Amino acid sequence: MSKAVQTAVLGITGYSGAELARLLVRHPRLAGKSPVLVGRVEPAGVPLSEIHPQLIDSHGTGSLCVQPFSWELLADREVEFLFLATPHELSRELAPEARKRGLRVIDLSGAWRLQETKHRAVYGFEDEGSVAALQTQAEAIYGMPELHRTEIRRANLVANPGCYATSVILALKPLISAELLDLNHGVVCDAKSGVSGAGKSPTAKTHFMFAADNLSAYAVFTHRHTGELLEQLDIGSNNLTFTPHLLPIPRGILSTIYVRFAHRQTTEAIEACYRKFFNNSPMVRFTGTRLPQIQDSVRTCYADIGFNLAKDGHRAVIVSCLDNLLKGAAGQAVQNLNVMNGWGEAEGLE
């Protein structure tokens, strides 16, 4: 067992921050090194149980105290890894400073996910094009271990993927890498997420009276995760139609993806493609022709992927499910921590 590292979580009040605290406290590699929890709290030393009563457990998670954030506190506690569960704009401000101070950063926001300026434009970052922003962006690695584990292992700034993006990229990347798809025919991604995907702050669209007993499409052709799909799948915007929907459930994502193959395929060939691609990926469960459901993956750190092939062999429907707060956020962040430290990728997640 290697020496435990000291972690810290900034942004503990949100849903993803709560899941991070729960996972880090129970992580076998971090025994005796509880995460330092920091945020904008007054007074100092607010028990986590007052913010997230559901975290009261026999591990002592609820008794951890949240301290006001300061760089001096992180230095005093000898923090090595800083998780940013913060809004995009705040992560843009904090990540460069954290790197100057020698901290390795895992950022759960969209601040550093996108390499292309045209894709980052959807965020309207005020520091876009500045020297500091460009230097930090050049250092950022897209934090999907199934695609980039070699780069993540030596990274100092990991940009955790978006939840929708994770579900779609994992479903499509094996087929695109094997050049099996007819991309000119177009790929259609119909994705649905629980309300927690919109964050903890209530809005008119996530209010109970809007979301309950309802199903609605939103951000059609404009969703922030679209740029991630285009960059990581390396396809053109004309080849992809991605439409997110709001489900009247607390958490979980189900993406139904429609593809056409360049040449006639068999079920066995498609299964072999997926199994080869995910051979060393413990947090992806490929279910073959059994289509996964949200209830299979919710409150787990797994992504579940299955498919059905049309009788003509030219068309397929792929279904990808995950928990947006775990494999789509906190779970994937801890998976990246494991990779960065050379630990087993699934440690603390199964």
Query: What's the pTM value of the predicted model, to 2 decimals?
Result: 0.95
Domain regions of the chain by residue span: 7-161+329-340, 163-324
Q: What per-residue confidence (pLDDT) applies to 78?
A: 97
Non-local (6+) Cβ contacts of 149 within 8 A are: 339, 345
CA distances from 282 to 18, 242, 277, 302 (A): 23, 27, 12, 8
**Whole-angstrom distance, CA of residue 7 vs CA of residue 330:** 14
Q: What per-residue confidence (pLDDT) applies to 198?
A: 77
Classified by CATH at the fold level, domain 163-324 comes out as Dihydrodipicolinate Reductase; domain 2 (3.30.360)
Active site residue 301: no
Of 163, 189, 301, 321, which is the active-site residue? 163
Q: Copy the structure tokens of residue 228.
A: 């991630």
Q: Are 189 and 257 in contact (CB under 8 A)?
A: yes
CA distances from 89 to 9, 104, 106, 277 (A): 17, 19, 15, 35
Position of tokens 């962006």? 137
Q: What per-residue confidence (pLDDT) applies to 41?
A: 75
Q: Are 124 and 135 in contact (CB under 8 A)?
A: no
Is the Cα torsion angle 250, 90, 168, 227 positive or negative in sign? Answer: positive
Digit-by-digit pLDDT tens for the chain (350 residues) are 567 899 999 999 999 999 999 999 999 999 889 999 998 876 678 888 998 999 998 888 888 999 999 999 999 999 999 999 999 999 999 999 999 999 999 999 999 999 999 999 999 999 999 999 999 999 999 999 999 999 999 999 999 999 999 999 999 999 999 999 999 999 999 999 999 887 777 787 788 888 888 999 999 999 999 999 999 999 999 999 999 999 999 999 999 999 999 999 999 999 999 999 999 999 999 999 999 999 999 999 999 999 999 999 999 999 999 999 999 999 999 999 999 999 999 999 99
**Nearest CA among 40, 49, 41, 45 for reference residue 18:** 49
Has domain 7-161+329-340 been given CATH number 3.40.50.80? no
Q: What per-residue confidence (pLDDT) applies to 102?
A: 97
Q: What per-residue confidence (pLDDT) applies to 1?
A: 52
Q: What per-residue confidence (pLDDT) applies to 70?
A: 95
CA distances from 118 to 123, 280, 283 (A): 10, 33, 31
Strand partners for 47: 65
**Whole-angstrom distance, CA of residue 287 vs CA of residue 276:** 14
Q: How buried is residue 66: exposed, middle or buried, by Cβ count under 10 Å (0-12/13-18/19+)?
A: buried
